[in-house]
């Protein structure tokens, strides 16, 4: 470009987005998964698909859970994108663990752990009819089944094996990074 040529606005915008994308190729999940988490991940993966088709995105997973609906949506877009490295650091329990397990490549830091448990709902002070209780129990069962199948697919172990882990009679069954690496579900993050 000569000194008297002006850059096109489209080129400037693309350059700005590309430099911002470099910063956001590394996505850190918030402590609680919600709709904003889904929107941010969807935007990053959409941009990556459009402009950086051969580059991978890192998804750092550490947190205690959140909305299973948003987590399921995030797992769908992770699978569609297909180039997401899940980095397990700290403790990723509940939704965070499911999202990590949905990544096509999974890594664990030395002190990381995956927290698996039965699905739960906080009824608070609600008074429920029998129909409402049945509906909520069906939702819990569905959430359990989704999680068990995601973990089974990621590890190569059976759904029944994962059911035993999540129904171990404790609130959260923590599976250490060495155990996850030994069972082939993750590689060490270097």
pLDDT digits (tens, 9 = 90+) for 114-159: 999 887 766 666 777 888 888 888 988 888 899 999 999 999 999 9
- Structural domain includes residue 97: yes
Alpha helices by DSSP H, listed for the chain, are 9-24, 35-51, 68-81, 95-102, 130-155, 159-166, 177-182
Q: How far apart are the first and last CA of the chain?
A: 42
Identify whether 27 is part of a domain.
Answer: yes
Exposure string of 94-118, with b = 16+ CB inside 10 Å and e = fewer, is bbbbbbbbbbeebbbbeebbbbbbb
Q: Which residues pair with 125 in a beta bridge?
A: none
In-domain check, residue 148: yes
Q: Does residue 15 sit within a domain? A: no
What's the mean pLDDT in 65-69? 89
Q: Does residue 32 sit within a domain?
A: yes
* Total number of domains in the chain: 1
| pLDDT reported for residue 152 | 95
Note whether residue 162 is domain-resident: yes
Alpha-carbon span 25 to 11, nearest angstrom: 20
Q: How far is CA 62 from CA 1, 77, 95, 129, 151, in A?
A: 46, 19, 10, 36, 16
pLDDT for position 186: 96
Most confident of 18-27, 91-100, 167-176: 91-100
Between CA 70 and CA 117 the distance in angstroms is 18
Domain span including residue 146:
23-188
Listed in sequence order, the residues at least 6 apart from 85 whose beta carbon sits closer than 8 Å to its beta carbon are 56, 57, 58, 59, 103, 105, 106, 107
- Is 13 part of any domain? no
Span 69-85, mean pLDDT?
93
| Structural domain contains residue 7 | no
CATH number at residue 183: 3.90.226.10
pLDDT per residue over 30-59, tens digit each? Answer: 999 999 999 989 988 888 887 777 688 999
């Amino acid at each position: 470009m000569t000194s008297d040529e002006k850059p096109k606005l489209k080129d400037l915008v693309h350059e700005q987005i590309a430099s911002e994308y470099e910063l956001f190729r590394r996505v850190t999940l918030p402590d609680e998964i919600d709709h904003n988490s889904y929107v941010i991940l969807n935007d990053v993966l959409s941009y990556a698909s459009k402009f950086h088709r051969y580059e991978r995105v890192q998804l750092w997973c550490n947190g205690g859970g959140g909305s299973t609906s948003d987590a399921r949506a995030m797992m769908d877009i992770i699978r569609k994108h297909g180039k997401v490295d899940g980095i397990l650091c700290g403790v990723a329990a509940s939704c965070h663990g499911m999202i990590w397990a949905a990544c096509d490549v999974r890594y664990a830091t030395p002190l990381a752990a995956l927290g698996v448990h039965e699905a739960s709902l906080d009824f608070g002070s609600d008074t429920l009819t029998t129909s409402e209780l049945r509906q909520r129990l069906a939702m819990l069962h569905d959430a359990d089944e989704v999680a068990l199948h995601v973990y089974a697919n990621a590890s190569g172990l059976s759904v029944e094996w994962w059911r035993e882990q999540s129904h171990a009679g404790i609130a959260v069954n923590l599976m250490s990074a060495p155990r996850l690496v030994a069972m082939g579900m993750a590689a060490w993050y270097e």
